[in-house]
Structure 1
Amino acid sequence: MKHFGLLGKNIDYSFSRGYFSEKFQKENINADYSNFDIADISEFPLLLEKSTNFAGLNVTIPYKVAIIDFLDDLAEEAKAIQAVNVIKFELGGKLIGYNTDFIGFRDSIRPYLQPQHTHALILGTGGASKAIAYALKTLGISYKFVSRTPKKNQFSYTELTKEILLKYSLLINTTPLGTYPDIKNCPDIPYQFITNNHLVYDLIYNPSVTSFMQKSKDNGATAVNGQNMLELQAEAAWRIWNS
């Protein structure tokens, strides 16, 4: 039997275990999938010692960047993004890092893009935001990050004006704000400037309509959650593990 799993912290809620366990059962695949909840990334080598016969791992918050130091090599996209959400265990014990988040995002947002969606605001600057930026680049969409502690060429939330919101008609939330159970939370943006020209995308999938999405929809925007992105990135991971 092949063993797969998810590496992260406080991951009981995880999408991946349910998705892959169901897939294995449905498709009669001789494999299992477990959560590996570790308090610190330094515990990763010990996990590898204790568990044998790994075929692949997913990586989630907060280890998508920190895991890189423990890998032997990175696929081209993971190198460019500098974040990893998939580990492949190759023959000889080599660990190769991949990023399928950008694939899931790119392929799930594509059907919703309209001609006016040429400029995007990425809300948040964590590991997931790097994959979103890479995907936008491949789609030919220019972007800016929005952060509570902005660096050069980034916006702060307090800087967002009507003019900026009208120019940047694609908004992507990569922060955890609004995730169950804190469903009333949302990024602090001026929602009154959102229009029916806007497309908002929330990486969160629980709840299926976040406060960020609802407030945007109330102003006419099209709103999409992260469920399809997760499914597409999971299938991309499965292809990598079996290639």
Structure 2
Amino acid sequence: MKIYGLVGKNIDYSFSRSYFAEKFKRENIPAVYKNFDLTDISEFPEILKNNPGISGLNVTIPYKQAVISYLDKLAEEAERIGAVNTIKIEKDGKLTGYNTDYIGFQKSVEAFLKPHHKKALILGTGGASKAIAYALKDLGIEYRFVSRNASVGQHDYQTLNEEIFQEFHIIINCTPLGTFPSVEKYPQIPVEHLSNSHLVFDLIYNPQTTKLMELARHQGATAINGLKMLELQAEAAWKIWNS
């Protein structure tokens, strides 16, 4: 029986494990999907050592960038993005890092884009945000990162104002703020400046409607969660493992 799994920290909530368990059952695939919950990325080699039959891995917060140093090579997209969420174990045992986050995001957001959606604010600067930026660039959409501290080419939360929100009509939350059980939290953006011309994409999928999405919809904005993105990136990972 083949073994697949997810590398991350505090991942009991994992979408991937339940998704692949259902997929294996539905498609009668003789495989199992495990969570590999690491307190530190230095424990990563133990996964392979203790699971010699492993066939593929997903990677989530907070190791999408840190895991790169343990890999033998990167696919072109992963190298450009600077983050990995999928690892293929090659026939010779070497590890190749891929990024399917950008595929999932790009395919799931395209249906909601309108002609005036030309600029985006990316909330957060972690591994997921890098994949989002890569997808936006591919879609021809300008973007700016938003973080707690301002630097060249990015905003901080304190400087966001009505003028900026009139220029940037896509808001993408790449932070974990609002994830269950802390469902009342959300990135501290001035939601009162959102309007029906805005598209808010929250990468969180649990809860189905986050506080940020709720506040955005109250202002008339279109708000979607990250569930479809996760499903699409999971299927892209499955194709990579079995190619």
TM-score by length of 2: 0.99
Per-residue deviation at 1:179? 0.6
Q: SS of the counterpart of 1:230? A: helix
SS at the partner of 2:45? helix
Amino acid at match of 1:129: S
Q: Quick one: distance in 2 between partners of 1:107 and 1:134?
A: 13
Q: Any idea what SS the aligned residue of 1:186 has?
A: coil
What residue number does 1:113 align with? 113
Q: Distance in 1 between matches of 2:63 and 2:189?
A: 27
Report how far residue 152 of structure 1 moved.
Answer: 1.3
Unaligned runs of 5+ in 2: none
Displacement of 1:150 after TM fit? 2.5
What does 1:28-177 correspond to in 2, within 5 Å? 28-177=28-177
Give, in angstroms, the shift of residue 151 of structure 1. 2.4
Deviation digits for residues 6-49 of structure 1 (CA, Å, limit 9, x no counterpart): 01111000000000011001000111100011111001112211
Unpaired runs of 5+ in structure 1?
none
Separation (CA, whole Å) in 1 of partners of 2:34 and 2:123: 31
One-letter identity of the residue aligned with 1:53: G
Aligned length: 243
**CA positional deviation for 1:51:** 1.1
The 5 Å alignment of 1:179-218 reads 179-218=179-218
Percent identity (aligned): 61
Distance 1:116 1:219 in 2: 18
SS in 2 for 1:12: coil
CA distance in 1, matches of 2:28, 2:187: 42
Residue 23 (structure 2) pairs with residue 23 (structure 1):
yes
Matched, 1:234 2:216: no
* C-alpha separation in 1, matches of 2:45 and 2:72: 13
CA RMSD of aligned residues (A): 0.6
- Kindly report structure 1 stretches of 4+ aligned residues shifted beyond 4 Å: none
